[in-house]
Amino acid sequence: MKVAVFVIGLVLLVIGLLGAAYGWFVATGLETTHAFACGPGGPGEPYPGWCAALLSSASGYRTFAYGMVALFSVGVVLSVAGGIMKDVPSAPTMIMAPPPIPPQGALHTCKNCGRSMPTTDRFCPSCGTAQW
């Protein structure tokens, strides 16, 4: 479970990082193209609306990059959580350790049925006779 969270976090982290870099790179490229082709002195747009479409897709890629940054953040949180969770199971394991065996002197034999039982038990677990 914890390993799965850690791995999923790492995968999201890498995908988010690559996606953000890709989206940002493409958006910057489109904006550079727009500045060159649609700016003063440029060749102008090949057809009406081309510059607007260029800017629109540039902002789309920019939004995509932001989304990937969010994915990257989720990946960071998940992988950190997975890393922290690794330490948690060791504590319950220690609590789940078998209870200490009572010393020999703490046992006594039921006066009714002869069953061996801890002196701390008020009633015999076998026959129910009160011991003290």
Question: Which residues within the stretch 9-48 sit at the binding site for Zn ion (CB under 5 A)?
Answer: none
Query: Is residue 126 at the binding interface for Zn ion, with CB under 5 A as the rule?
Result: yes
Our CB check for Zn ion shows the closer of 112 and 120 to be 112
Work out which of 52, 53, 70, 113 binds Zn ion, going by CB under 5 A: 113
Query: Is residue 112 at the binding interface for Zn ion, with CB under 5 A as the rule?
Result: yes
Residue partners of 117: CB distance under 8 A and separation at least 6: 107, 108, 109, 110, 124, 125, 126, 131
Element holding 7 (H helix, E strand)? helix 2-38
Segment lying near Zn ion (by CB under 5 A), choices 13-21, 67-75, 101-109, 122-130:
122-130
Query: Is residue 107 at the binding interface for Zn ion, with CB under 5 A as the rule?
Result: no
Query: Is residue 54 at the binding interface for Zn ion, with CB under 5 A as the rule?
Result: no
Query: Is residue 124 at the binding interface for Zn ion, with CB under 5 A as the rule?
Result: yes
Residue with tokens 């998940």: 78
Query: Is residue 127 at the binding interface for Zn ion, with CB under 5 A as the rule?
Result: yes
Residue partners of 127: CB distance under 8 A and separation at least 6: 110, 112, 113, 115
Structure tokens at 16: 């988010």
Strand partners, 108: 117
Name the residues that contact Zn ion, by CB under 5 A: 110, 112-113, 115, 124, 126-127, 129
